[in-house]
């Protein structure tokens, strides 16, 4: 109808119908921007759950969905990391856009393959979740203003104390290198890096990494799935072009108290950030003057709903397709995160600093 603002929703196929796949399906079904027309999963129980949720067509493999469903315009890859690259390359070859869960791939070489195969299609990653929050956008705009001066240190320390012994350990895949590419670094460090690199405008150029990873402490071995070989604690120092340094520490099942802090420090001042949604959040600008020293000023405060970080990656992906603009975190940005990740693992394995090309 003439004058209508109706936008045809993107026809979406979701590959992987586990916990996060179902969340994405729920988001799409509640959105006017995307329409779930197909789901693929290896497990019959998951396929049956998709049928019960009202998904029109269900397949037993991602390749079948891509090959046999011409209505699908874009695929969302919500299955273990080790399977994503082959499916992304297949989807791009068949003319379908791709949104992947994080981490984007098993290594930087796989991301480069995706970039080479993408062409004019949209490729995006969900690692941008926390940058869709209002507080993050406020921090991004403030950092872009130059009010912090030249950046010296960008840091994250986010460690979680071990709780009581669980009745059942967590999912095996999330701490299995062959399935997920690693442990806590890819599970949560990918968010930290996207958040901090994005807020600073993707202006930092990592050059050198010195890092260490550690397995779960012996007294907490029963907290994780048997046979897990991914790290539960990582610490890294990343030197960037121009002398800016990124420090990253992530840990779970820690023999230490829970502590969370994200910070950007420049020559003129600093920002104290909280990445995750929650109540009574504050973004604090620590301004400076010769006369008064350091002066704290609340830049943003309020409550943020966790639903935003689940809804917005898919909505942003659909908007990027329909409106033909880059997604919040595209494959080029994902490559930077993956290069840092690869270098952290390489440095920890070798016991020496590793250069990033």
pLDDT tens for residues 97-132?
999 999 999 999 999 999 999 999 999 999 999 999
Q: Quick check: 181 pLDDT over 60? A: yes
- Taking only the tens place, the pLDDT of each residue in 7-59 is 799 999 999 999 999 999 999 999 999 999 999 999 999 999 999 999 999 99
pLDDT at 3: 42
Residues 6+ apart with CB under 8 A from 298: 282, 283, 284, 285
Q: Quick check: 4 pLDDT over 60? A: no
Q: Rounded to whole angstroms, what are the CA distances from 234 to 26, 69, 92, 237?
A: 33, 42, 34, 10
CATH number for the region 10-127+312-330 comes to 3.40.50.720
CA gap 77, 101 in Å, rounded: 6
- Taking only the tens place, the pLDDT of each residue in 211-256 is 999 999 999 999 999 999 999 999 999 999 999 999 999 999 999 9
When the pLDDT of each residue in the chain is averaged and rounded to a whole number, the result is 96
pLDDT at 114: 98
| pTM of the shown model | 0.95
pLDDT at 278: 95
- Taking only the tens place, the pLDDT of each residue in 93-102 is 999 999 999 9
CATH number for the region 130-304+336-355 comes to 3.30.360.10
pLDDT at 10: 97
pLDDT at 164: 96
Residues of the chain with CATH 3.30.360.10: 130-304+336-355
Residues of the chain with CATH 3.40.50.720: 10-127+312-330
Average pLDDT over residues 60-77: 98
């Amino acid at each position: 109808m003439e004058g209508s603002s109706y936008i045809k929703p993107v026809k979406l196929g979701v590959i992987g119908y586990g916990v996060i796949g179902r969340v994405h399906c729920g988001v799409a079904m509640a959105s006017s921007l995307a329409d779930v027309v197909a789901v693929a999963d290896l497990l019959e129980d998951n396929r049956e759950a998709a049928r019960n949720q009202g998904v029109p067509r269900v397949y037993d493999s991602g390749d079948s969905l891509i090959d046999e469903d011409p209505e699908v315009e874009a695929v969302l890859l919500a299955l273990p990391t080790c399977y994503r690259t082959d499916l992304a390359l297949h989807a791009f070859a068949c003319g379908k856009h791709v949104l992947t869960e994080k981490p984007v791939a098993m290594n930087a070489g796989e991301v480069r393959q995706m970039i080479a195969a993408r062409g004019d299609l949209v490729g995006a990653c969900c690692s941008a979740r926390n940058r869709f929050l209002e507080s993050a956008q406020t921090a991004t705009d403030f950092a872009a203003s130059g009010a912090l001066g030249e950046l010296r240190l960008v840091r994250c320390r986010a460690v979680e104390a071990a709780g009581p012994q669980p009745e059942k350990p967590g999912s095996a895949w999330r701490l299995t290198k062959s399935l997920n590419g690693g442990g806590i670094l890819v599970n949560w460090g990918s968010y930290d890096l996207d958040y901090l690199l994005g807020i600073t405008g993707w202006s930092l150029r990592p050059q050198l990494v010195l890092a260490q990873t550690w397995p779960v402490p012996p007294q907490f071995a029963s907290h994780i799935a048997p046979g897990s070989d991914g790290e539960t604690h990582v610490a890294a120092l990343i030197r960037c072009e121009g002398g800016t340094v990124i420090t990253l520490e992530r840990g779970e099942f820690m023999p230490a108290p829970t502590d969370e802090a994200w910070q950007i420090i420049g020559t003129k001042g600093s920002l104290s950030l909280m990445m995750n949604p929650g109540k009574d959040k504050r973004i604090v600008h620590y301004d400076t003057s010769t006369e008064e020293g350091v002066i704290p000023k609340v830049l943003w405060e309020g409550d943020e709903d966790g639903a935003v970080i689940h809804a917005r990656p898919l909505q942003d992906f659909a908007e990027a397709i329909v409106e033909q603009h880059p997604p919040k975190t595209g494959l080029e940005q994902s490559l930077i995160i993956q290069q840092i990740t690869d270098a952290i693992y390489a440095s920890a394995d070798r016991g020496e600093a590793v250069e990033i090309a």
